[in-house]
């Protein structure tokens, strides 16, 4: 088993290949992609693509194919959550203290007005300045792209872990990767163990990335962080779908979980603030 570890998108990464060697060229390709992804899509970097619209005039803007793809998925998630999830939440996050306020930010959360935007193909239409934040969908996409790079370099068996979200094939002997699902808020405890084979896993909770009374999962319509759900884990055919599933669960009512399950072909564990756990149909893991 060979691996490479590094920091990217503000978190720890590990790419494991079940092979005799992991070439320097392949490792370099992985590192370069993640660095480039961060440079292009991080809200924390002022010249990133997602920050191009902070001072933009109302009108139509042409996006890069990759940003269009990301925003298209975000748009779909916005629809599935009836607008509670919205990547145009950047200014609100900043006004609440998550990330340094830069040009365009409102002074206080109560002054925030939900930016209007729509997307057709690669054409983005905005009604005024927008700060996009791809948290909740961006990392899963990046993990899958890293996996594609690893595959392109000829490695058949791998696990790509981006800060606790991951995608994997089998190991070379055909066996599964045993993945423990952390219990939200209890870093030394597991809630489940999955035998991960050809699929993605994502985990999200409201205990990390807190700022004052807020955490990073903010309902843009209510201008406040989600409180009904304290954490969730999702299993799906790929990391991007799993990542989107966890975001969808945070921002949806229980009666919408079926639509999310169908959309992302996923299953889930959802940890509620009353201490109970909702287990989605076909959750593939052992519950502990």
Separation between Cα atoms, residue 218 and residue 225, nearest integer Å: 4
State yes or no: residue 67 binds another protein (CB under 8 A): no
User: Least distance to another protein from the beta carbon of 228, Å?
Assistant: 13
Name every residue whose Cβ is closer than 8 Å to that of residue 140 and which is 6 or more positions away in sequence.
Answer: 162, 165, 200, 202, 238, 239, 240, 241, 242, 243, 244
Q: Which of helix, strand or coil describes residue 38?
A: helix
Q: What is the DSSP letter of 212?
A: T
Alpha carbon separation from 206 to 155, 164, 209, 212 (Å, rounded)? 35, 15, 7, 12
**Position 182 contacts another protein (CB under 8 A):** yes
Characterize 230-241 residue by residue with b for buried, 16 or more Cβ atoms within 10 angstroms of its Cβ, and e for exposed: bbbbbbbebbbb
C-alpha 247/C-alpha 85 separation (Å) is: 8
Q: CB of 65: closest distance to another protein in angstroms?
A: 25
Task: For another protein, give the closer residue by CB, 119 or 172.
Answer: 172
Name residues contacting another protein, limited to 30-49 (CB under 8 A). 42, 44
Query: Is 22 within 8 Å of 155 (Cβ atoms)?
Result: yes
| Environment class of 143 (CB within 10 Å of its CB; exposed 0-12, middle 13-18, buried 19+) | buried
Q: In this complex, which beta carbon is closest to another protein, that of residue 119 or of residue 279?
A: 279
Sign of CA dihedral 78, 82, 88, 92: negative
* Among positions 113, 189, 228, 273, the unique one binding another protein when judged by CB under 8 A: 189
- Selected from 7, 46, 62, 118, the binder of another protein by CB under 8 A is 7
**Touching another protein, residues 240-279 (CB under 8 A):** 254-259, 261-262, 268, 270, 272, 275-279
Q: How many residues does the chain have?
A: 288
Q: Which stretch binds another protein (CB under 8 A): 48-56, 106-114, 146-154, 155-163?
A: 155-163
- The yes or no reply on residue 100 touching another protein (CB under 8 A) is yes
CB of 207 to another protein, least distance (A): 7
Cβ distance to another protein smaller for residue 2 or 272: 272
Q: Is the Cβ of residue 73 or residue 139 nearer to another protein in the bound state?
A: 139
Q: How far is the CB of 203 from another protein (least distance, A)?
A: 4
Contact criterion met (CB below 8 Å) for 201 and 177? no
* Binders of another protein in range 104-143 (CB under 8 A): 139
Alpha-carbon Rg for the chain, nearest whole angstrom, is: 19
Shortest Å, Cβ 53 to another protein: 19
Tell which positions 69-98 bind another protein, by CB under 8 A.
97-98
Q: Does 183 bind another protein (CB under 8 A)?
A: yes
Closest by CA to 211, choosing from 200, 221, 225, 229, is 225
Instruction: Give the nearer residue to another protein in terms of CB position, either 113 or 180.
Output: 180
In the complex, the smallest distance separating the C-beta of residue 47 from another protein, rounded to whole angstroms, is 14
Which of the residues 190 through 229 are near another protein (CB under 8 A)? 190-194, 196, 201-205, 207-209, 211
When binding is defined by CB under 8 A, the residue of 55, 148, 187, 273 that contacts another protein is 187
């Amino acid at each position: 088993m060979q691996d490479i570890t590094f920091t990217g998108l503000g978190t720890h990464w590990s790419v494991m290949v079940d092979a005799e060697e992991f070439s320097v060229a392949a490792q370099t390709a992985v590192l370069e992609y993640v660095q480039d992804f961060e440079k292009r899509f991080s809200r924390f970097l002022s010249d990133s693509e997602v920050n191009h619209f902070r001072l933009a005039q109302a009108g139509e803007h042409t996006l890069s194919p990759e940003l269009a793809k990301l925003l298209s998925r975000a748009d779909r998630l916005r629809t599935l959550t009836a607008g509670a999830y919205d990547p145009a939440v950047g200014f609100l996050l900043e006004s609440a203290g998550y990330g340094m306020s830069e040009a365009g930010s409102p002074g206080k959360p109560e002054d925030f007005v939900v930016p209007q935007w729509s997307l057709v193909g690669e054409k983005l239409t905005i009604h005024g300045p927008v700060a996009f934040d791809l948290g909740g969908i961006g990392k899963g996409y990046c993990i899958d792209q890293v996996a594609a790079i690893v595959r392109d370099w000829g490695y058949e068996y791998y696990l790509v872990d981006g800060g606790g979200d991951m995608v994997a094939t089998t190991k070379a002997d055909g066996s599964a990767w045993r993945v423990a699902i952390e219990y939200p808020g209890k870093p030394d405890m597991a809630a489940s163990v999955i035998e991960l084979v050809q699929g993605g896993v994502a985990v999200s909770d409201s205990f990390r990335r807190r700022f004052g009374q807020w955490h990073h999962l903010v309902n843009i319509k209510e201008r406040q962080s989600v409180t009904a759900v304290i954490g969730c884990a999702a299993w799906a055919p790929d990391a991007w779908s799993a990542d989107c599933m966890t975001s969808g669960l945070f921002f949806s009512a229980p009666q919408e979980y079926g639509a999310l399950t169908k959309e992302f072909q996923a299953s889930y564990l959802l940890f509620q603030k009353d201490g109970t756990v909702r287990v989605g149909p076909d959750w593939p893991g052992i519950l502990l």
